[in-house]
Structure 1
Amino acid sequence: MRSRLYMLVLCLLCLALAAGACSRRPRSTADVPRPISAKYAISVAPFTQPINASQLIVGRIPEDQGRIPHDMLLALDMQLRHVLMTDTRRQYTFIAPQNLPPDLTTFHSSEQPQALPRWIDYGKKQGAQLLLIPQVLDWHEREGSRAGVTQSAHVRAEFFLLKVDEGTLMNRSIYEEKQVGLTENLLTVGSFFKRGGAWVTAEDLTVDGMRKAVKDLGL
């Protein structure tokens, strides 16, 4: 009886891994991101968190939005620098946080995204050809430890690539994850074991989002 239970669990794990692999496989060559030409210089803006609709490039503010501490935004800037410098083979210009214009973080009463023109103007002032804008839309830190949690980490991060001279949004990468245990969702078994079977922090999840953005945006 016990051996049959083990075999059932093993079969379920195999099915979960197969399903995850299939879900990640592009459906056609059109789904494969095209690399950005090396002729383009890419400037990287600091991480920000929109807190009202007018600060959005596109999309919407999540309900019960979790706010990220300012020092964590700075930590994510360093993490993104590391990912870009190690996972890609191109040069970047990293814009200092103090160079962010004040109007990107002040309140404007609007229910519609309005930030694209301001980011385009910002990119022009920085002399950028392509501007990579990383943003945290939702941030909920892990409550507990690597061994066990009362509340797992949950983040939503978005990455925008703007073509400054044309004033257009070239591409966008969205990453959202709330870590769950194996008993809650067998489809996450691959990522759970990849993380050493540990409960990770919101920062760890966001780094995964950065690596996804590198692939999605063709960096």
Structure 2
Amino acid sequence: MMKRVFPLILICVLSLAFLNGCASKSEIVKLPRPVGTIAVAGFTNPVFNWELLAGYLPHEGQPIKPEVLQQLDEKMVAVLARHGVKGYARPAITRQCQEIEVFENMGSRREAAFSYWIKVGECMTADYILVPQVIFWQDLRGMKKADYNIQPASVILDLYLIDVNNKRIVRRYHFDETQQPLTANMLNADTFFKRGGKWVKAMELADEALETGLTELGL
């Protein structure tokens, strides 16, 4: 009996994965590429809510390792290259202005955070500045194969495109995902199979986020 039922279940799952795959592709809206000079900031890891441009941290005071931020900068550059984006100021250059500028006491702390990034953009003489922030980072612990004694990868990050001249956030992409096994959420079957039916690392989730996020921002 089980031998007959299993193929039917597999067919249903694969069909659902196909349908979800078509739906997810249609949901990605690529905006026109911004006209003007663009500076790409290095990834930052806000550890207090006042450092954020929007939203709130799930846990304050939990910094991410510097080497993770460096790897994310490298991934950002690689994805922009794959998308054909050229002539922008890279994170390694923009970080020089990030180190020069400082937060000032300007009204609310969140206003100070926004003003800081405007000043970084002005320091770079850019029309736009792309600000990537990692809100939460939890790497995979355990085996990559299906295993109940495992801590799955979890990533929350934001990408902000700020119009420096008009001093406003024009586009934002938010990514928040904790990987789940197929049995926990059948609606994500397409994503499960795209990942090879295995547990992935946090950096792999971040790569997916950058691919989709930069596309949606027009970059």
Counterparts of 1:13-162 in structure 2, within 5 Å, are: 13-26=14-27, 32-37=29-34, 39-63=35-59, 67-96=63-92, 97-101=95-99, 103=102, 114-147=112-145, 148=147, 150-162=150-162
Q: Structure 2: how far apart are the matches of 1:65 and 1:3? A: 53
TM-score (norm 1): 0.85
- The structure carrying a bigger helix percent of its residues is 2
Instruction: Note closer, same or farther for the CA distance 1:22–1:150 as it changes in structure 2 (3 Å cut).
Output: same
**Residue 50 of structure 1: how far off its partner (Å):** 1.0
Asked whether the equivalents of residues 65 and 138 of structure 1 are also in contact (C-alpha less than 8 Å), the reply is no
Q: Is the counterpart of residue 191 in structure 1 residue 191 in structure 2? A: yes
Structure 2: gaps spanning 5 or more residues? none
Instruction: Note closer, same or farther for the CA distance 1:136–1:119 as it changes in structure 2 (3 Å cut).
Output: same
State the identity as a percent.
30
**Residue 55 of structure 1: how far off its partner (Å):** 0.6
Letter in 1 for 2:26: R
TM-score (norm 2): 0.85
95-104 vs 2-11, which deviates more? 95-104
Q: Structure 2: how far apart are the matches of 1:82 and 1:34? A: 20
Structure 1: gaps spanning 5 or more residues? none
Q: Structure 2: how far apart are the matches of 1:4 and 1:142? A: 33
Deviations 1:110-147 (A, max 9, x none): 77564111110111012111100111001111101322
Asked whether the equivalents of residues 135 and 157 of structure 1 are also in contact (C-alpha less than 8 Å), the reply is yes
Give the CA RMSD over aligned residues. Answer: 2.6
